């Protein structure tokens, strides 16, 4: 699936839907989207990743960047990540910092 | 012997990352590697290929660099060898985040070293050699 990133913000909840492969060639697009979202001071960030097929460390770095900019009070949700993506998060210790859900709102 | 070897070269630019993954996935699935381990192999190779493109060739000042990807499979093992002619870059000399760093909340964590860590952790064996002016990164996956 080709890469796309779309975002919307409703009542301080930012939702970013990521489709395709998040590698070093596509991560800058997500980074840019995250930077726009940060300006809006959301209280929750929801990453819709059901159709995210691949995520390399370039993608992890954007998640870390988002978390660092937004601060620990802003909860980060991952909606329906694929098994291999969860495994990568676990391996790198990022799993502790995100909340995995089947749908949002829960 | 039942040995298959496939070689393909790719331009050293970020658009090649997806093509390299497709090349590896096609062959790995054909050889009977399951989806999870194929993904892990692709992830490991992707991280190193990214380093070669973003740092190796860039720092060498080479704009038309190539990445050679060779896949060799026998009965026991699948081996992927990546060669490039950028500056010598030994991934083992790169600092890998320790357990203590990985346990830090994301807000306090230094960014970096994750890619190389993922390269090492996602295959059964990962080696690096520098020979005749070429970097050679070798990834092995046990087939049984």
* ipTM value for the complex: 0.95
- Look at the domain B4-142 and name its fold: Heat Shock Protein 90 (3.30.565)
Range with the poorest average pLDDT among A22-26, A78-82, B115-119, B134-138: B115-119
Q: How confident is the model at residue B59 (pLDDT cuts 50, 70, 90)?
A: confident
State chain B's mean pLDDT as an integer: 90
Record the tokens describing residue B1, joined without a space.
């012997």
Q: Are B23 and B69 in contact (CB under 8 A)?
A: yes
Pairing between strand A99-101 and A75-79? parallel
CB neighbours (10 Å) of residue B19?
Answer: 13
Regarding predicted confidence, which is higher, B70 or A105? B70
pLDDT of B118 reads 94
Q: Which residues of chain B are within 8 Å of residue A84 when distances are taken between CB atoms?
A: 36, 39-40, 43
Distance from the A73 Cα atom to the nearest Cα atom in chain B, whole angstroms: 10
Residues B51-63 have a mean pLDDT of 89
Q: What is the mean pLDDT of residues B56-68?
A: 91
pLDDT class of B109 with cuts at 50, 70, 90? low
A75's CB contacts (< 8 A; 6+ apart) are: A43, A44, A45, A99
Window A:16-35, CB contacts with B under 8 Å: 21, 23-25
What residues of chain A score a pLDDT lower than 50? none
Within the 15-44 window of chain B, which residues sit less than 8 Å (CB to CB) from chain A? 15, 17-18, 21, 36, 39-40, 42-43
Overall average pLDDT of the B79-102 stretch? 85
Q: Give the residue-averaged pLDDT of B25-36.
A: 91
Query: Which pLDDT band, with edges at 50, 70 and 90, does B111 fall under?
Result: low
Domain boundaries defined on chain B: 4-142
How close does chain B come to A30, measured CA to CA in Å?
16
What is the residue whose two structure tokens read 């080479």?
B62
The tens digit of pLDDT for each residue in B7-26 reads: 999 999 999 999 999 999 99
Cβ distance A56 to B46 less than 8 Å, yes or no, reads yes
Is the minimum CB–CB distance between A93 and chain B shorter than 8 Å? yes
CB of B143 within 8 A of CB of B76? yes
Percent of chain B residues past pLDDT 70, beyond the cut: 91
Q: How far is CA A34 from the centre of its chain?
A: 9
Determine the pLDDT at residue A106.
Answer: 79
Within 66-85 of A, beta carbons closer than 8 Å to B belong to: 67-68, 71-72, 83-84
Tell me the average pLDDT across B37-61: 93
CATH fold of the domain at A4-101: Transcription Regulator spoIIAA (3.30.750)
Task: Among B42, B47, B53, select the one facing A57 at the smallest CB separation.
Answer: B47
Identify from B16, B49, B107 which residue to disrupt to test chain A contact, counting A C-beta atoms within 10 A and taking the largest count.
B107
């Amino acid at each position: 699936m080709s890469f796309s990133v779309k975002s919307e913000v409703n009542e301080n909840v930012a939702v970013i839907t990521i489709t395709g492969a998040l590698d070093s060639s596509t991560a800058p697009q997500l980074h840019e989207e995250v930077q726009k979202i940060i300006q809006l001071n959301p209280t929750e960030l929801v990453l819709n990743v059901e159709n995210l097929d691949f995520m390399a460390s370039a993608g992890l770095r954007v998640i870390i960047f988002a978390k660092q900019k937004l601060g620990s009070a802003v909860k980060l949700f991952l909606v329906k990540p694929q098994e291999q993506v969860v495994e990568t998060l676990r391996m790198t210790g990022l799993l502790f910092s995100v909340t995995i859900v089947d749908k949002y709102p829960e | 012997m039942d040995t298959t070897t496939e070689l393909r070269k790719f331009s050293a630019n970020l658009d090649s990352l997806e093509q390299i993954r497709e090349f590896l996935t096609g062959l790995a699935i054909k050889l009977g590697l399951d989806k999870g381990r194929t993904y892990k192999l692709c992830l490991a190779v992707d991280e190193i290929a990214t380093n070669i493109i973003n740092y190796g060739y860039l720092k060498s000042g080479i704009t038309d660099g190539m990445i050679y990807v060779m896949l060799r499979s026998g009965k026991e093992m699948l081996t992927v060898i990546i060669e490039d002619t950028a500056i010598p870059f030994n991934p083992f000399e790169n600092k890998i985040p320790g357990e203590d760093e990985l346990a830090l909340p994301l807000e306090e964590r230094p960014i970096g070293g994750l890619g190389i860590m993922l390269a090492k952790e996602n295959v059964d064996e990962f080696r690096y050699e520098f020979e005749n002016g070429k970097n050679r990164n070798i990834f092995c996956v046990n087939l049984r």
